[in-house]
Amino acid sequence: MNTTPDTPAATEEAEKIERNFGTQPLDAILNELAMGNHDIVSVSEEPITHKAVQRARKGRRLTPHMKRRIAAALNKAFTLQGKTREGEWQVSDLFNY
């Protein structure tokens, strides 16, 4: 059966997908380090927008690839600040979904 967005089956399935997960651990980490969205965007080697970082902080669903990009950028920004940590932050440390 082919469903279009206007059919009840497609609408019900779209409603089941949770998109908002509340404030993420990433937000607390950035606040603790006194880092802003621009700090992440400016050091990223891959394309990341300020909007994507804000969405990540507020818990809007991101693709796994974008979560990895943000984790890599955070680790790089942290290192560039001259700070050290035992290990790098992993995606699971930054997001609870």
Q: Is 8 inside any structural domain? A: no
Task: Note if the pTM is more than 0.75.
Answer: yes
Q: Is 81 inside any structural domain? A: yes
Helical ranges in the chain per DSSP H: 8-16, 25-32, 37-43, 50-58, 64-80, 91-94
Q: What is the pLDDT of residue 34?
A: 94
Contacts of residue 2, Cβ cutoff 8 Å, sequence gap at least 6? none
Q: Is 61 inside any structural domain? A: yes
d(CA 51, CA 54): 5
Q: Is 85 inside any structural domain? A: yes
Q: What is the pLDDT of residue 35?
A: 96
pLDDT tens digits, one per residue of 36-49: 999 999 999 999 99
Q: Is 38 inside any structural domain? A: yes
Q: Is 55 inside any structural domain? A: yes
Domains in the chain, number: 1
Q: What is the pLDDT of residue 9?
A: 61
Q: What is the pLDDT of residue 53?
A: 98
Which range marks the domain in which residue 60 is found? 19-94
Q: Is 1 inside any structural domain? A: no
Q: Is 77 inside any structural domain? A: yes
Phi, psi of 67 (to 5 degrees): -65, -40
Instruction: Check pLDDT > 90 for residue 11.
Output: no
Q: Which of 83, 82, 93 is nearest to 70 (CA)?
A: 93
pLDDT tens digits, one per residue of 33-90: 999 999 999 999 999 999 999 999 999 999 999 999 999 999 999 999 888 888 999 9
